[in-house]
Structures are given as structure tokens and as C-alpha cells.
A = this chain, B = another copy of it.
Amino acid sequence: MTNATTLVDQYVAIWNEREPGQRAALIAETWTEDATYLDPLMSGNSAAEIDEMIAGAQLQFPQYEIRKLGAVDAHTDRVRFSWELVNVDDGTRLLAGTDFATIAEDGRLKAVTGFLDV
């Protein structure tokens, strides 16, 4: 299995990568083409849709970035980790959540489900 922490770090980097070509390259490296993403606010049913979805979220939150919270927990082909959405200017947290992922045989992400933490 791909090192789960490395994979999560790449996943977080994608959410923060605002240069479209760089983001697309990172997505191709990190997600399978048929990957799915689903949380209470948004969804994507392919790597291309996930790219569009993340671009939309970046437009919605121009002053914010995602940061990993705590350690990555992984077993078999499953991973969970927590994150926060933080204002880059003053460090205040807008949202936090926990994501659950399934890793494909090739070591890339094939499915992520997100939940919001209160």
C-alpha cells in the first residue's frame, strides 16, 4: 500500500493548489480516473469532476487553506484523517472535518467520503 500519510498530504495539497495545471497534475497522480468524492456540501464522480469541484471550493473560499489535523489512521486499503479550513491571514478556523478514503490497488485514492466535525 502507498504510504497513507504521503497520500493524505498530496490530497491536502490538491485542495490548496490554485494553479490549474499543477492541480490537474497532482490529481492525476493522487486520484484514479473513476474516483468519487462525497461530503455534505459537494460531490464529484470522476477525477475531472473532483478537479472542478475543488476549483469551485477555492473560488468560494479565496482566503482559506486546508490543513491536516493530527495523525493519519490507516488499515488494509482504508484511511481516515481530519482536517481544518483555516484563514491564511489570521489562522482562524472556519470548518473542520474527517474524511474516510479507500485506496485503489495502484495506490491512488478511489473514494473519499467527508463528514463535518462540530
Contact = CB atoms under 8 A, between A and B. Distances in A.
Interface size class of A (residues with CB under 8 A): 10 to 19
A38 interface: yes
Nearest to A76: B38
A39 B115 contact: no
A80 interface: yes
A100 interface: yes
Contacts of A73: 115
Contacts of A115: 73, 75, 78, 80
A42 B40 CA distance: 29
Nearest to A39: B75
A16 interface: no
